[in-house]
Amino acid sequence: MRQAFLIDTRIGLCYHIINCNNDKTERIPPMTTESKPAEAVLREGQAIHITDNAIDIHGTINEIAHRFLSISLDVSPQTFLATPLNSDELQCTVTGNGCVYRFAANFRSSSTVAEKNWFIEKPATVERIQMRRFVRVPMPLPIQVKLPGAHGSMQDTIEATLVDISGGGICFAHTNEVLLHEKIIITIPDLPLYGTLHTEARIERCTKIEVFSGTVFHIGASFEDNLDLRQQDKLIQCIFELQRSYLQKGLLLPVK
């Protein structure tokens, strides 16, 4: 198996390309899956993400019946009225602890516009997809960071360079060393399927890296509990998309 490396010398980011033969690319499985009974996973009040070729909406499971799920949608009346056809298959995702659960379900019917409920087929099982939170996707983009200042205040926003992102945190490059366990505020614009990520994070590591132009520091920060369930779900979907893109290019993603 041939191997190669692409190196961004500005920030010390190394992309590991596996099996660079032109005829075939070997890919490392990025996740583990297992089936679980739907009754053990789905619950009323749980956030759910529903997609198909023309749909990308969020809602809440408000009733679990014997044969169907009732989903309350957080959408405009116009979006609600653009219902799928009866028996159209929808891809559904709910977030678990360090994993996500996915299942396919057929659309059955909808309520009145005032209630904004969709009714979909209840699955017998769901697929547990593990480790998405811990898969780090290299992504050298400019980001905005507010670092801690004196007496608990925050400094002015600085421009930094993102090194990688996962469902649980980020790593970015900065010219100066920073203290561990301090809180920061980050803003990352234009993430696919997410938009602008703006949140607090806590510094977990600060690693000195020698690059062609001198020295930079790779600063790892954890989101901890600063993202709600809906934000976590959207970020995991973003990681899905980024991971697919990198695997299609033959890039091996690092795992924490």
Predicted confidence at residue 43, as pLDDT, reads 93
* Superfamily covering domain 134-249: predicted glycosyltransferase like domains (2.40.10.220)
- Any idea which of 30-39, 109-118, 160-169, 200-209 has the lowest mean pLDDT? 30-39
- Mean pLDDT, residues 221-239: 83
175/150: higher pLDDT: 175
| Complete DSSP assignment for 61-126 | EEEE-SSEEEEEE-S-HHHHHSPPPTT-EEEEEEE-SSEEEEEEEEEEEE--TTT-EEEEEPPSEE
- Write the burial class of residue 219 (CB in 10 Å: 0-12 exposed, 13-18 middle, 19+ buried): buried
pLDDT at 8 over 60: no
Question: Class of the 32-130 domain?
Answer: mainly beta
What would the two tokens of residue 82 be? 């653009």
Predicted confidence at residue 249, as pLDDT, reads 59
Per-residue confidence at 2, pLDDT binned at 50, 70, 90? very low
Averaged confidence pLDDT in the chain: 79
- Any idea which of 63-72, 94-103, 221-230 has the lowest mean pLDDT? 94-103
The pTM assigned to this predicted structure is 0.53
Predicted confidence at residue 247, as pLDDT, reads 59
Amino acid at 101: Y
Predicted confidence at residue 146, as pLDDT, reads 94
pLDDT for 205-216, tens place per residue? 888 887 777 888
251/68: higher pLDDT: 68
Number of neighbouring beta carbons within 10 Å of residue 62 = 14
pLDDT for 86-138, tens place per residue? 888 998 988 776 577 889 999 999 999 889 999 999 999 998 876 445 567 88
Percent of the chain predicted with pLDDT > 90: 31
| Domain boundaries along the sequence of the chain | 32-130, 134-249
pLDDT at 160 over 90: yes
22/31: higher pLDDT: 31
Decide: 224 and 202 in contact? Cβ < 8 Å.
yes
Percent of the chain predicted with pLDDT > 70: 78
Predicted confidence at residue 102, as pLDDT, reads 87
Per-residue confidence at 33, pLDDT binned at 50, 70, 90? low
pLDDT at 15 over 50: no
